[in-house]
A and B are shown apart, each in its own frame.
Chain A
Amino acid sequence: MSGRDSTERSGAAIEALRGPPLVLGTPTPASLTRSLLAYVFGAPGRAWWTLFALACLGLGVFAWALYQTFIHGVGTWGVNVPVAWGFAIINFVWWIGIGHAGTLISAILFLFQQRWRTSINRFAEAMTLFAILQAAMFPLLHLGRPWLFYYLAPYPSTLRLWPQFRSALPWDFVAVSTYGLVSLIFWYLGLIPDLAAARDTAKPGFRQRLYALFALGWRHSARHWHHYKTAYLLLAGLATPLVLSVHSVVSFDFAITNLPGWHTTIFPPYFVAGAIFSGLAMVLLLMVPARAALGFEQVITARHIDNLNKLMLATGLMVAYGYVQEHFFAWYSGNVFEEAAYAAKRWGPYAPLFWGQIACNVAIPQLLWFERIRRSLLATWLIALVVVVGMWLERFTIVVVPLSHDFLPSSWGVYVPSPVDLGLLVGTLSLFAFLFLLFLKVIPPVPIHEVKEVLEEVSP
Chain B
Amino acid sequence: MTMDRTGARSRDGLRRRTVVKGLGAAAAVASSGACFQYPEEEILPYSRRPEWVTPGLPLHFATSLKLGGYGLGVIVRSNEGRPTKVEGNPDHPWSLGATSAFEQAQLYELFNPDRLRVFRRGRDLSSRQEVLATLAERASAHAADQGRGLAFLLEPDASPLRAALIDRIRARLPGARFFVWDPVSDVAAQAGGRIAYGAEVVSAPKVADASVLVSIGSDFLMEGPGRIREARALADGRIPDRPMKRLFVAESPLTVTGMFADHRLAASPAVLERVLVAFAHAVARQTGDSALQQLVAQLPPPKIDEDAGRWVALAARDFAAHAGRAVLWVGRTLPAALHALAHALNARVGRAIDVFTAPHLEGFDTLPELVSALRAKEIGTLIVGANDPVRTAPGDLAFGEALATVAHSFYLALYPDETAARCAWALVRTHAFEEWGDARAPDGTISFVQPLIRPLFEGLPEVRVLAAFAEPGGEDRTDYELLRTQYPEPAFDEWIRVGVHPASPPLPSPGPVQWEAIAAVLEAWRPAPEDVLALVLTPDTRLYDGRFAHNPWLQELPDPVTRLTWGHAACLNAATAARLNIESGTRIRLTANGRSIEAAAWIVPGHADGAVTLALGYGQTVCVTPSQPGDEGERAPVGANAFILRHRDGAFVLPVTVENLGGRVPLAFTQQGHSQHGRELALARTGAQWRKASPQPFEHLRQPEAGLYEPLHGEAAEHRWGMAIDLARCTGCSACVVACQAENNIPAVGPDQVRRGREMHWLRIDRYLDGDAGQPLWVTQPVMCVHCELAPCEYVCPVNATVHSPEGLNEQVYNRCIGTRYCSNNCPYKVRRFNFYDWRPRADPIGRAFKNPEVTVRSRGVMEKCTYCVQRIERARIRARISGTRLQDGDVVTACQQVCPTRAIVFGDLNDPASEVSRLHEDRRAYELLHELGTRPRTRHLARVKNESGGEG
Which residue numbers of A lie inside 8 Å of B, CB to CB?
72-75, 78-85, 142-146, 148-149, 151-152, 161-164, 166-170, 173, 253, 256-259, 336-337, 340, 403, 406-414
Contact = CB atoms under 8 A, between A and B. Distances in A.
Given A257-B825, A408-B828, A411-B830, A148 B818 contact: yes
A82 B766 contact: no
Given A73-B860, A408-B681, A81 B818 contact: no
A145 to B, nearest CB: 4
Contact of A257 (B757, B792, B829, B862): B792
Nearest to A167: B798
Nearest to A416: B756
A340 B818 contact: no
Interface string B830-851: 1011111110000000000000
Q: Is the interface of B mostly helix, strand, loop or mixed?
A: loop
B829 A408 contact: yes
A145 B813 CA distance: 14
Nearest to B676: A409
B261 interface: no
B174 to A, nearest CB: 60
B825 A167 contact: no
Interface string B760-797: 00001011100000000000010100000000100111
B486 interface: no
Nearest to B798: A169
B689 interface: no
B795 A167 contact: yes
Contacts of A144: 817-821, 834-835, 860-863
A171 to B, nearest CB: 9
Contact of B799 (A80, A83, A151, A259): A151
A145 B798 contact: no
Contact of A83 (B757, B822, B861): B757
A407 B928 CA distance: 14
A173 B822 CA distance: 14
Contacts of B933: 258, 407
B861 A145 contact: yes
Interface string B675-687: 1111101000000
Contacts of B838: 73
Contacts of B675: 409
Contacts of A257: 792, 796, 825-826
A366 B758 CA distance: 43
Nearest to B670: A410
B105 to A, nearest CB: 23
Interface string B482-493: 000000000000
B819 A410 contact: no
Contacts of B897: none
B800 A408 contact: no
B799 A163 contact: yes
A258 B799 contact: no
Contact of A163 (B767, B800, B863): B800
B377 interface: no
Scoring A75, A79, A166, A408 by chain B CB atoms within 10 A of each residue's CB, the highest score goes to A408
Given A169-B798, A408-B766, 15 more contacts: A73-B835, A75-B758, A80-B836, A81-B830, A82-B825, A85-B821, A143-B818, A144-B861, A146-B818, A151-B798, A163-B799, A164-B795, A166-B796, A258-B933, A414-B757
B818 A82 contact: no
B792 A145 contact: no
Interface string B122-153: 00000000000000000000000000000000
B861 A336 contact: no
Contacts of B836: 73-75, 79-80
B672 interface: yes
Scoring A79, A253, A410, A411 by chain B CB atoms within 10 A of each residue's CB, the highest score goes to A410
Nearest to B826: A257
Contact of A403 (B671, B678, B825): B825
B679 A336 contact: yes
Scoring B757, B766, B800, B837 by chain A CB atoms within 10 A of each residue's CB, the highest score goes to B757
A81 B518 CA distance: 57
Interface in B850-885: 860-863
B828 A258 contact: yes
Nearest to B754: A80
A408 B941 CA distance: 15
B821 A169 contact: no
Contact of A151 (B781, B818, B862): B818
Scoring A81, A85, A143, A164 by chain B CB atoms within 10 A of each residue's CB, the highest score goes to A81
B798 A164 contact: yes
Nearest to B781: A410
B837 A73 contact: yes
A411 B834 CA distance: 14
B421 interface: no
Interface string B71-109: 000000000000000000000000000000000000000
Contacts of A167: 795-798, 822
A166 B796 CA distance: 7
A130 to B, nearest CB: 25
B757 A80 contact: yes
B692 to A, nearest CB: 24
A168 B822 CA distance: 10
Contact of A78 (B753, B756, B817): B756
B860 A410 contact: no
B673 interface: yes
Scoring A75, A82, A406 by chain B CB atoms within 10 A of each residue's CB, the highest score goes to A75
A439 B862 CA distance: 40
A78 to B, nearest CB: 7
B244 interface: no
Contacts of A142: 820
A421 to B, nearest CB: 12
A273 to B, nearest CB: 24
Interface string B239-268: 000000000000000000000000000000
Contact of B832 (A81, A336, A406, A413): A81
Q: Which 4 A-B pairs have the closest CB atoms?
A: A144-B819, A144-B861, A80-B757, A75-B836
B831 to A, nearest CB: 9
B566 to A, nearest CB: 16
Contacts of A170: 798
Contacts of A74: 819, 836, 861
Nearest to A415: B757
A143 B797 contact: no
Contact of A84 (B792, B817, B824): B824
B830 A409 contact: no
B821 A84 contact: yes
30 contacts: A73-B836, A73-B860, A73-B861, A75-B753, A75-B758, A75-B836, A80-B836, A81-B757, A81-B758, A81-B830, A84-B824, A144-B819, A146-B818, A151-B818, A161-B799, A167-B797, A167-B798, A169-B822, A170-B798, A256-B796, A259-B825, A336-B678, A407-B930, A408-B681, A408-B930, A409-B681, A410-B671, A410-B781, A413-B672, A413-B757
B15 interface: no
Contacts of A409: 673, 675-677, 679, 681, 768
Scoring B677, B781, B930 by chain A CB atoms within 10 A of each residue's CB, the highest score goes to B677
A376 B876 CA distance: 77
A83 B834 CA distance: 11
Given A75-B836, A144-B818, A256-B796, A84 B676 contact: no
Scoring A72, A146, A164, A173 by chain B CB atoms within 10 A of each residue's CB, the highest score goes to A164
Contacts of B863: 144
Contacts of A82: 757, 824-825, 830
A45 to B, nearest CB: 42
A164 B820 contact: no
A161 B817 CA distance: 13
A162 B798 CA distance: 9
Scoring A163, A167, A256 by chain B CB atoms within 10 A of each residue's CB, the highest score goes to A167
B176 to A, nearest CB: 55
Nearest to B673: A409
